[in-house]
Amino acid sequence: MNVDALLDPLFRLPFVTGLVFALVLPVLGMYLRLREEWLAALAFAQVAAAGSLASSILGLPPQAGALACAGGAAALKGWIARAGNNGYALLMIVGWAAAILMLANVPIAEHLGHALFDGQLYFTGTGHLAVAALFLAVTATLLPWLSQRLLLERMFPDFFRASGLSALRYHLIFDLLIAAGLALATSSIGVMAAFGLVFVPSMIAYRVAPNWKGSVAISAASSLGAYIVAFAAALLLDQPFGPVLAITLAALAACGWLVLAALHRQAPHGLTARS
Partner 1 sequence: MDSDDYLLRVDALSAGYVRPVVGPVSFSVRLGDIVGIRGPNGSGKSTLLNAITGGSRIFSGRVIKRPGARVSHQQQSTLPLDSVPLSGRELLGLTGATEESLPAWIKPHVRRRLDRLSGGQLQLLYVWACLKAPVDLILLDEPTNNVDPPGIEHLAEELLRMRASHAVLVISHEHRFLEQVCTRMVDLPQ
267 lies in the binding site for partner 1 (CB under 8 A): no
**Cβ at position 30, least distance to partner 1 in Å:** 9
Q: Considering just the CA atoms, what is the radius of gyration of the chain in Å?
A: 19
Helix 38-57 vs helix 62-75: angle between axes, to the nearest 10 degrees?
Answer: 140
**Cβ at position 161, least distance to partner 1 in Å:** 5
Q: Which of 19, 34, 39, 194 binds partner 1 (CB under 8 A)?
A: 34
User: Do 119 and 192 meet the contact criterion of CB atoms below 8 Å apart?
Assistant: yes
146 lies in the binding site for partner 1 (CB under 8 A): no
275 lies in the binding site for partner 1 (CB under 8 A): yes
3-state helix, strand, coil in the chain (%, to 5): 85, 0, 15
Q: Which among 16-24, 92-100, 118-126, 201-209 is the span making contact with partner 1, rule CB under 8 A?
A: 201-209
164 lies in the binding site for partner 1 (CB under 8 A): yes
CB atoms near residue 76 (< 10 Å): 13
Q: Judged by CB, which is closer to partner 1: 34, or 183?
A: 34
Q: Judged by CB, which is closer to partner 1: 46, or 202?
A: 202
Euclidean distance between CA atoms 181 and 133, whole angstroms: 11
Residues 6+ apart with CB under 8 A from 85: 39
163 lies in the binding site for partner 1 (CB under 8 A): yes
264 lies in the binding site for partner 1 (CB under 8 A): no
Euclidean distance between CA atoms 107 and 66, whole angstroms: 19
Alpha helices in 58-157 (DSSP H): 62-75, 77-81, 85-105, 110-118, 126-155
**Cβ at position 96, least distance to partner 1 in Å:** 29
Euclidean distance between CA atoms 35 and 74, whole angstroms: 14
Q: Which of 64, 100, 142, 206 binds partner 1 (CB under 8 A)?
A: 206
159 lies in the binding site for partner 1 (CB under 8 A): yes
3 lies in the binding site for partner 1 (CB under 8 A): no
Q: Which of 2, 6, 214, 257 binds partner 1 (CB under 8 A)?
A: 214
**Cβ at position 19, least distance to partner 1 in Å:** 25
* Burial class for 132, CB neighbours closer than 10 Å (0-12, 13-18, 19+): buried
- Look up residue 109 and give its DSSP letter: G
212 lies in the binding site for partner 1 (CB under 8 A): yes
CB atoms near residue 252 (< 10 Å): 20
Site size for partner 1, by CB under 8 A? 30
268 lies in the binding site for partner 1 (CB under 8 A): no
Q: Which of 16, 64, 172, 209 binds partner 1 (CB under 8 A)?
A: 209
Q: Which of 211, 238, 265, 268 binds partner 1 (CB under 8 A)?
A: 211
Residue ranges in contact with partner 1 by CB under 8 A: 34, 148, 151-152, 154-159, 161-164, 205-207, 209-215, 270-275
